[in-house]
Chain A
Amino acid sequence: MKLFHNRRKEFEKLTWPLGHDLFRLAYWRLANQQDAEDVVQECYLRAFRSFHTFRLGTNVKSWMTRILLNVVNDTLKKRIRQPDLLAIDDQCDEIASLQDHSALSKDPEIQLTEREIRPDLLTALQRLPTSLLHPLLLRELEDMTYAEIAAILAIPTGTVMSRLFRARRVVRDSLTKNMKRIVTPEVADHEMQ
């Protein structure tokens, strides 16, 4: 029993500092606090079960992130199999309605966090295909190097660079369009006066 206890302590010592980063990544990937919490819990469980495969001295953050992305993919597949749940690629309105629904039903802490979501950025990100979204999130949210991203996603470093380039342009264009949509009615109102 003590052996197991030591193993858990060692696991916690290594992985506990990553909790915030993993949650943030899951949160921005899934756009839902409850799902993000579930995914992070499942990620820790899976990592603990396969902790014997982890080689001490290697990058624990990369290892945990890889597991997290696998869990996220599984969660998204589940959503597709269960059409009554909201799909990740749904549009901004659906995300907003989900947040409104969450705000009514969840505890104050969750409500507070979800109100702070930047809907325009979130929407722009959700429109990205996974192949572009994952490199962008790992780079911008987790400050990972190209080499780390390449290792986690099992793609060449050059591919990481090109995907980041495309992802940034798509997000920027999406944000610009959104800005125009917001600005246009204001101009019209001003002209009417």
Chain B
Amino acid sequence: MKCSDVRPVMDLLCDGALENKDTALVIDHLKSCDECQCEWHDLEQLRGEFNNAKAECQLPTQLMRKISQKLKHEERSECKRLIKQYARSIPTVAIAATIVVVGFLYLPWFHRIDTALTSTPTASADTLVADLLSERGLEPVTNRNELAQKVGYNLTYVRLPQWQMSQFGLWKSHGTTAIARFDFVRKEQSGDQQLTCYQAPQGAILAKGASLRNLDGKHVLFGSHDKFQFALWSQKGHDYLLVTPLSKLQLEEIVRGA
């Protein structure tokens, strides 16, 4: 091994980072080379200087106690800082909590409006007319409040000035949406005339095969079943179905005024 090979790895030998094989080669060279031996001696001397320096430096006895006190102080400051931070966020938390509570309280109400305004189809106009013809499917109710409770939504009434309500109740359905039924009578010279009005949440009544007509801005589906005429339209979130044995023209007049 040459001196130029040994010098760069001498530090590695000094640090114990040289592989065994190379260590043996370097040591062999050192035994035979005075210059490198001198260099090695210098390195070892320097290492000795550092070892002495290490031993001389003592940790001041009070230093760790001072640090401990500072850490305790820091700990208290951090705690106070966090408390202040939480205190600042209390109004925000209170507002958020209020919104959640109010939302929770009013959710059923919103849900009710939602179901009242849009509903899945429950009955067809033909079925309702058929039930009317067979004089079945009515569950009579004594007063309107009770009826409103049973249907589960706010009832609104169409304007039928010449007609008198004879009875009202709940149409017995198997669907999820309740349908209210109002029967009216009008006395004429030729005899009593009948009119029935079904009321349900919008979208609950279907009228297949009916023809659409625009009556003074009101979109009405007209149809007939057996000897009865019917008219179906939606108004203020409700479906209205008028059924009568009168002629279609007469029914149009009634719908116009309703």
Contact = CB atoms under 8 A, between A and B. Distances in A.
A5 interface: yes
B74 A175 contact: no
Contacts of B68: 12
A45 B71 contact: yes
Output the residue of B50, B66, B68, B72 with the most chain A CB within 10 A. Answer: B50
B57 A113 contact: yes
B43 A19 contact: no
A156 to B, nearest CB: 15
Nearest to B78: A4
A37 B54 CA distance: 17
A121 interface: yes
Interface residues of B, number: 32
A77 B206 CA distance: 85
B4 interface: no
B57 A19 contact: no
Interface in B31-58: 42-43, 46-47, 49-50, 52-54, 56-58
Contacts of A110: 60
A165 to B, nearest CB: 5
B131 interface: no
Nearest to B68: A12
The interface size bin for chain A is 35 or more
Interface in A38-81: 40-41, 44-45, 48-49
A24 B8 CA distance: 29
Interface stretch (B11-19, B91-99, B106-114, B223-231): B11-19
A8 B71 CA distance: 7
Contacts of B102: none
Contacts of B58: 113
A109 B79 CA distance: 35
B74 A140 contact: no
Given A19-B63, A19-B67, A168-B46, A45 B11 contact: no
Given A8-B75, A41-B70, 11 more contacts: A1-B79, A4-B79, A8-B72, A19-B67, A23-B60, A44-B71, A45-B70, A48-B74, A118-B52, A164-B11, A164-B15
24 contacts: A1-B79, A4-B79, A8-B72, A8-B75, A12-B71, A19-B59, A20-B59, A23-B57, A23-B60, A24-B57, A24-B59, A33-B60, A45-B74, A109-B60, A113-B60, A116-B57, A118-B49, A121-B53, A140-B47, A140-B50, A168-B46, A171-B46, A175-B46, A176-B42
Interface of B: 8, 11-12, 15, 17, 42-43, 46-47, 49-50, 52-54, 56-61, 63-64, 66-68, 70-72, 74-75, 78-79
Interface of A: 1, 4-5, 7-8, 11-12, 16, 19-20, 23-24, 27-28, 33, 37, 40-41, 44-45, 48-49, 109-110, 113, 116-118, 121, 139-141, 146, 161, 164-165, 168, 171-172, 175-176
